Amino acid sequence: MKEYAKSKGSLEEAIAIAEKVKMNEEMRDTYLSLARVSDKLSNHIEAYRYQQLHTAYADSVRSKERTSQLTEMEVRFESERKEKENQLLKKDNDLNKLYIGVITISFLSVVIIGFLFFNRQRLKIKSTQALVESEKKLMEAEAKNAQLKQAEKLQREFNKQLADVEMKALKAQMNPHFIFNSLNSINWYIIKAESEKASLYLTKFSKLIRLILDNSNYKIISLDQEMSALRLYLDLEVLRFNEKFTYNISIQPSLNPLAIGVPPMIIQPFVENAIWHGLLHKESVGKLEIQIDSMPGGIQCIITDNGIGRKKAAELKSKAADKEKSYGMNITRDRLDMLNRESTVASIEIIDLEDENGQPVGTKVIVKIVSAELEPEF
């Protein structure tokens, strides 16, 4: 019963964190866990209240999903409506051009007839009309050119604003991925009565959460901040998996991490992928090497593991009953795509490592990042 009481306290902390960052799905699941723990503690009134809260948040999540689907349908309908309007406008323009052509032909016919009777007058009229028409077309061309430039400028500003909004949304999706994995580990240590490990894990977890929340407010952070968050994450994973692997991070001495700017959370998903799909399936202790080197215009991060390799990892994943998706990697690829829309920010190269017999001995990932220069703080 004591373990259930500790577990209940950890779950209540998770509810408090989830409420701050408005994570309804996690609150739904956590209230269900609280209901079960309260039932185990024979607190049936509280168990019923948590069950009601679980139901309310489940309804809220379903309502949000339906609203999202309706919004998507409205956007699609509006797009189709605008496309049809554009087609109608094009037809109207074609008819207007035809009408102008008919008028022009008629006018020229009158001019030709007039030429037979009033030769000198026709020449004067024709000369005047040509000059007026030329000036009119020139003015129209200049007006259209100005409109096109303005439209292109508005489109660029819109695309930039859209990319900013999408980037914030993606970074907001990454944070819960860390929070709830770590809370589960803390809860596990508490249940097993390993208070020292739970305290150490909780301390590192708190520092990591603060860094993630602070860094998510910026497009660019220093390489030093990125490495601090990465080290905390790796320390948590080493504790979580009972030192199943070791890691080493080395930075080229000529680099100043405080003066190099990179997008936040750009390296961690590749490190996580190496751990989960390469090192954890290895029978012996795994080894993870992270090397940061300079390159023209930026830096390159080389992530090397001596795990089971991508081919073997894919085979194990295909046999698993519950095939999990790599949300962190998918989100990171989406972020890189959006960053690369404005300019080339990063590129990824994956190399399968093999021994002399062609057997897999790990994976190497090279992430090349075009970095920004920052003013180092002293």
pLDDT tens, 248-259?
Answer: 999 999 999 999
More confidently predicted of 120 and 349: 349
What is the 3-class SS of 29-96, one letter each residue?
HHHHHHHHHHHHCCCHHHHHHHHHHHHHHHHHHHHHHHHHHHHHHHHHHHHHHHHHHHHHHHHHHHHH
CATH 3.30.43.10 is right for the domain spanning 212-373: no
- Give 186-201 pLDDT, tens digit per residue: 777 777 777 787 788 8
| Sign of the Cα pseudo-torsion (155, 160, 162, 163, in order) | positive
What is the band of 173 on the pLDDT scale with cuts at 50, 70, 90? very low
Residue 353 has pLDDT above 90, yes or no: yes
Structure tokens at 321: 């009953």
For 303, phi and psi rounded to 5 degrees?
-110, 115
The pLDDT tens digits of the residues spanning 284-331 come to 999 999 999 999 989 999 999 999 998 888 888 776 645 555 555 666
76-80, 127-131, 264-268: which is most confident: 264-268
Give the strand pairing for 372-373 and 360-370. unpaired
pLDDT value for 230: 95
Residue 34: per-residue pLDDT: 76
Average pLDDT for residues 333-337, to the nearest whole number?
Answer: 65
The CA-CA-CA angle for residues 124, 126, 127, to 5°, reads 65
Residue 377 has pLDDT above 60, yes or no: no
Are 366 and 351 in contact by the 8 Å Cβ rule? The answer is yes
pLDDT (tens digit per residue) in 113-171: 766 666 777 777 887 888 888 888 888 888 888 877 765 664 565 455 445 545 554 45
Q: Domain ranges for the chain, please list them.
A: 212-373
189, 197 contact by CB (below 8 A): yes
Residue with the larger pLDDT of the pair 291 and 277: 291
Q: pLDDT (tens digit, 9 = 90+) per residue, 8-37? A: 777 777 777 777 777 777 778 887 787 777
Task: Please report, in angstroms and rounded to a whole number, the separation of the first and last CA atoms in the chain.
Answer: 52
**At what angle are helices 119-191 and 195-215 packed, to 10 degrees?**
170
In angstroms, the CA 123 to CA 120 distance is 5
| pTM for the full predicted model | 0.54
